[in-house]
Amino acid sequence: MNGDTVAALALVLGSAVLIGSSLVARRIPIGTTAKLAVAWVAVFAVVYVAFLYRGVAGDAWRRAVADVRGESDMEIAGRTLKLRKSDDGHFWADARVNGQRVRFLVDSGATVTTISAKSASEAGVVGGDRPAIRVSTGNGEIMVERGRIATLAIGPITQNNTSVHITDADRINVLGMSFLSRVRRWQVEGDVMTISS
């Protein structure tokens, strides 16, 4: 459990004890008490889930607002792309894989760009020309097929024939060093990643 989970659990348990003790002190009939307890558990479960996924929800909300306003978390100036850090502490980029829109987590710690089998299928990326291999990731070891993306474009930056790993183990698409090492320059300053071609 991380710190956020422990804090949320402590909040829920403390609130449950407070509400439970107030119901007992009021001497409400047991049937009514049980109904009220179930209702409060449901309320706290919703609050707990909302707390756990607040970063994901905030990111989705900002993307929806940006789409409505015609904005993006990517800023393009000539051949330079700037990505703003998301609430989850990562940099995300909307790319085109063989013309198909795919959202990537930009990770300089990943050696090879990795996409999910679903994203690969939708974008027409074919793997399996060589046997699957086992690779180590931040989340443990996974099996991947090796393939190539004909065209990978992010903003003004387009690369052809990019090596890629395809996996069923994760739904997150990761843009790794097989992409970043082929750009002219990339850097992170504070909450902004700059990529230039």
pTM assigned to the model:
0.59
Residue 32: which residues within 8 A CB-CB, separation 6 or more? none
Q: What is the pLDDT of residue 170?
A: 67
Whole-number Cα distances in Å, 79 to 92, 145, 175, 188: 18, 32, 18, 17
Residues 126-135: contacts with CB within 8 Å, 24+ apart? 127/164, 127/166, 135/165
Q: What is the pLDDT of residue 153?
A: 93
Q: Enumerate the H helices of 53-173 as residue ranges.
A: 54-69, 117-123
Longest CA–CA span in the chain (Å) reads 72
Distance CA 144, CA 127 (A): 9
Q: What is the pLDDT of residue 58?
A: 64
H or E segment at 17? helix 3-26
- 159 within 8 A of 152, measured Cβ to Cβ: yes
**pLDDT for 7-23, tens place per residue?**
767 777 777 777 767 76
Residue 128 neighbours by CB distance under 10 Å: 10
Q: What is the pLDDT of residue 87?
A: 80
Residues 140-145: contacts with CB within 8 Å, 24+ apart? 142/167, 142/169, 142/170, 143/167, 143/168, 143/169, 144/114, 144/169
Q: What is the pLDDT of residue 71?
A: 45
Q: Pull the structure tokens for residue 144.
A: 């991947």
Q: Enumerate the H helices of 94-143 as residue ranges.
A: 117-123
Distance CA 11, CA 4 (A): 11
Location of structure tokens 């009514």: 32
Residues of the chain with pLDDT under 70: 1-4, 8, 20, 23-24, 55-72, 129, 132-133, 136, 138-139, 170
HSE-CB of 125 using CA atoms within 13 angstroms? 33
Q: What is the pLDDT of residue 12?
A: 72
Q: What is the pLDDT of residue 57?
A: 67
Residue 102 neighbours by CB distance under 10 Å: 23
